[in-house]
Amino acid sequence: MTSSGPALRGGKAASAIKHVYSLLSEAFGPQGWWPVTPAGKNSSVYRPGFHGPLSDAAIFEICAGAILTQNTSWKNVQKAMEALAAAGMLSQGNIAACPLPRLAGLVRPSGYYRRKADKLRAFSRRALKEHPEGLKSWFGAAGADELRRELLSYSGVGPETADCMALYGGGKLSFVIDAYTRRIGSRLGLAGPDGLSYDSWKGLFERSLPPDVKMYNEYHALLVKLGKDFCRPRAPFCRACPLAAVCKREKHGN
Ligand code: SF4
């Protein structure tokens, strides 16, 4: 859904984006993204207030989750990640060496499992070959734009996946745009009736916010929470929404 009125522009849009962050932070608190599986466990945990440093294994898990979450809910991804962890397969080396039918069986709960197994193994293999120094060193040494460009050259890695990897795995200033962000942003009046491209949404948030990786990290997680719990596609729960006072849709019923 897009707003039916003109989009907020320039300084007004930037102020609105900053204000929305304050309202969501106050309402929901730190989100602790990206969830990672502690050593010896099979389930991932959120760590509110933790912002690294991350191990190679944690960065790989974030990259794997970013691939598996394409076109499915996080609940399904969790099941797939738990199956990988329980089988001792949640590592770059093991996935790179795993026969495709076995890998597809393990990631089956995430949907499109044959394609996702293929993408996951291809990512693991190419990254191992081209970056034997490991993901932590690779991501750590690359600039945000350079890392994003390189990730986008991997098969099956689109803008949203690359931004998740760069922001949550690499700690880079690379704002993530997803369906929640587009829906909420449109209802807030940040886009006109025709909506915005991925890059335009990304540019709008990045121009509006200070260069703060923790803020980028929390902001995306907060938008996901709002989109899941309040700003649903149909029948949004506006009365209890922390953004009701500033939301164009709530005010005008768009
Ligand atoms: S007030 Fe309603 S439409 Fe606006 S952001 Fe909240 S839930 Fe979404």
Residue 253: predicted pLDDT: 61
What is the C-alpha to C-alpha distance for residues 124 and 210, in angstroms, rounded to an integer? Answer: 33
Task: Show Cβ contacts of residue 101 under 8 Å, excluding neighbours closer than 6 positions.
Answer: none
Torsional sign, CA 32, 53, 168, 212: positive
Question: Measured from the CB, is residue 247 less than 6 Å from ligand 1?
Answer: yes
Question: Measured from the CB, is residue 190 less than 6 Å from ligand 1?
Answer: no
- State the distance from the centre of ligand 1 to the C-alpha of 101, rounded, in angstroms: 43
- What distance, in Å, lies between the first and last C-alpha atoms of the chain? 9
The class that CATH gives domain 56-169 is mainly alpha
**Residue in the block written with tokens 């397969």:** 89
Asked if the peptide bond before residue 34 counts as cis, ω within 30 degrees of 0, the response is: yes
Task: Show Cβ contacts of residue 64 under 8 Å, excluding neighbours closer than 6 positions.
Answer: 81, 84, 90, 95, 120, 123
- State the distance from the centre of ligand 1 to the C-alpha of 129, rounded, in angstroms: 46
Residue-wise pLDDT tens for the chain (254 aa)? 344 455 777 789 999 999 999 999 999 999 999 999 999 899 999 999 999 999 999 999 999 999 999 999 999 999 999 999 999 999 999 999 999 999 999 999 999 999 999 999 999 999 999 999 999 999 999 999 999 999 999 999 999 999 999 999 999 999 999 999 999 999 999 998 788 999 999 999 999 999 999 999 999 999 999 999 999 999 999 999 999 999 988 766 65
Instruction: Indicate the top mutation candidate among 181, 186, 228, 230 to test ligand 1's pocket, ranked by most ligand atoms within 8 A of CB.
Output: 230
Question: Measured from the CB, is residue 7 less than 6 Å from ligand 1?
Answer: no
What is the C-alpha to C-alpha distance for residues 227 and 99, in angstroms, rounded to an integer? Answer: 37
CATH number for the domain running over 10-31+175-252:
1.10.1670.10
Q: If we measure between CA atoms, which residue out of 154, 146, 166 comes closest to residue 54? A: 166
Tokens representing residue 118 in the block: 């293929």
Instruction: Indicate the top mutation candidate among 2, 190, 243 to test ligand 1's pocket, ranked by most ligand atoms within 8 A of CB.
Output: 243
Query: Domain-by-domain residue ranges, the chain?
Result: 10-31+175-252, 56-169
Pick the atom of ligand 1 nearest to 237's CA.
7
Which DSSP string do the residues of 96-132 spell out, in sequence order?
A: HHS-HHHHHHHTGGGSSHHHHHHHHHHHHHHHHHH-T
Helix (H) / strand (E) containing 9:
none
Torsional sign, CA 249, 11, 49, 199: positive
Question: Measured from the CB, is residue 16 less than 6 Å from ligand 1?
Answer: no
Residue 2: predicted pLDDT: 43
Tokens representing residue 138 in the block: 């690779």
